Amino acid sequence: MIDSISTSTTILKLHSATIHTKKKSPFKSNIHITNNMTFQDLLIFIFPNVPLDGKRFLIKSSLDTNSKTFLPEQIISQIFIEEHINLWIEIEDIKIEFDDLFD
């Protein structure tokens, strides 16, 4: 009996990203995306000397109200199947007043 070994090969279709901000669009163009690159890796490349105290970056699919916000640990190539993507970055205050949210 001959055992057959199957191998699966994942081909990365996503190659690059362009980053936009509210004030500068595009902000950075044609950033090469690697297979296991996370959104956090992308943020560190774009803004190497941050985050700012009391603030964090949000990576979004657009600036529209129905846009998706991506978690920093997510692997970019597992979310997008396009060859090139456009992402928008916003800054958000991270101070949460729990008394305003819960009674």
pLDDT in tens, 74-103: 999 999 988 999 999 999 888 877 887 786
Question: Distance (Å, rounded) from C-alpha 51 to C-alpha 57?
Answer: 8
Task: Decide if 83 is inside a domain.
Answer: yes
Whether 21 is in a domain gets the answer yes
Residue 29 belongs to domain with CATH number: 3.10.20.90
Place of tokens 């956090």: 40
State the pLDDT at residue 13. Answer: 84
32 CB contacts (<8 Å, ≥6 apart)?
15, 16
Q: How confident is the model at residue 40 (pLDDT cuts 50, 70, 90)?
A: very high
Give the Cβ contact number of residue 98 at 10 Å: 6
- The C-alpha atoms of residue 60 and residue 21 are separated, in whole angstroms, by 10
Phi, psi of 12 (to 5 degrees): -75, 115
Structural domains in the chain (count): 1
Residues spanned by the domain of 88:
16-101
- For 2-26, what is the mean pLDDT? 75
Percentage of the chain beyond pLDDT 70 is 86
Q: How confident is the model at residue 81, as a pLDDT?
A: 86
Asked if residue 11 belongs to a domain, the reply is: no
Residue 10 falls inside a structural domain: no
User: Is 70 exceeded by the pLDDT of residue 6?
Assistant: no
Question: Averaged over 65-70, what is the pLDDT?
Answer: 91
Residue with tokens 């916000």: 69
Distance CA 67, CA 70 (A): 10
Q: Is the whole model's pTM more than 0.85, yes or no?
A: no
